[in-house]
Amino acid sequence: GSHAPLEDTAPRIVEHPTDVLVSKGEPATLSCKAEGRPAPLVEWYKDGERVETDREDPRSHRTLLPGGSLFFLRILHGRRGKPDEGVYVCVARNYLGEATSRNASLQVAGE
């Protein structure tokens, strides 16, 4: 029998990030998995601002994993602020549309 061609589909988030509490200097992962055809491009936003990963800056301590999760080599936290603390969402896009995950907060455990 002949198979009907697979239809393109808009992205949907199949695994949402959850809140994490991390000790400073420790690694952390914010999970996100999206499905769609063509495979959606995943971007992360923190407090509404796009998160740069090692794709944009090779020195970045944040890595976008192949499935779409965001991995922190170590949580940065200094006297001048908490650059990794905040509310994150992951957004998956392809030409048919986009899907936004639930909010997940990343907090650094108390000093």
What domains appear along the chain, each with residue ranges and CATH number?
A: 17-108 (2.60.40.10)
pLDDT for residue 76 is more than 80? yes
Task: Give the mean model confidence (pLDDT) for residues 51-72.
Answer: 94
- For residue 68, which of 98, 29, 102, 104 has the smallest C-alpha distance? 29
Higher pLDDT, 6 or 58: 58
Q: Kindly report whether the global pTM for this prediction surpasses the value 0.85.
A: yes
Show the tokens assigned to 22. Answer: 């991390």
23 Cα distance to chain centroid: 19
Higher pLDDT, 2 or 93: 93
Task: Give the mean model confidence (pLDDT) for residues 41-60.
Answer: 95
Show the tokens assigned to 89. Answer: 């969402």
Please, which residues have CB within 8 angstroms of residue 24's CB and are 6 or more apart in sequence? 75, 76, 77, 108, 109, 111
**Helices vs. strands in the chain: H and E counts, helices first:** 0, 11
Q: What is the pLDDT of residues 1-15, one digit of tens each?
A: 677 778 999 999 999
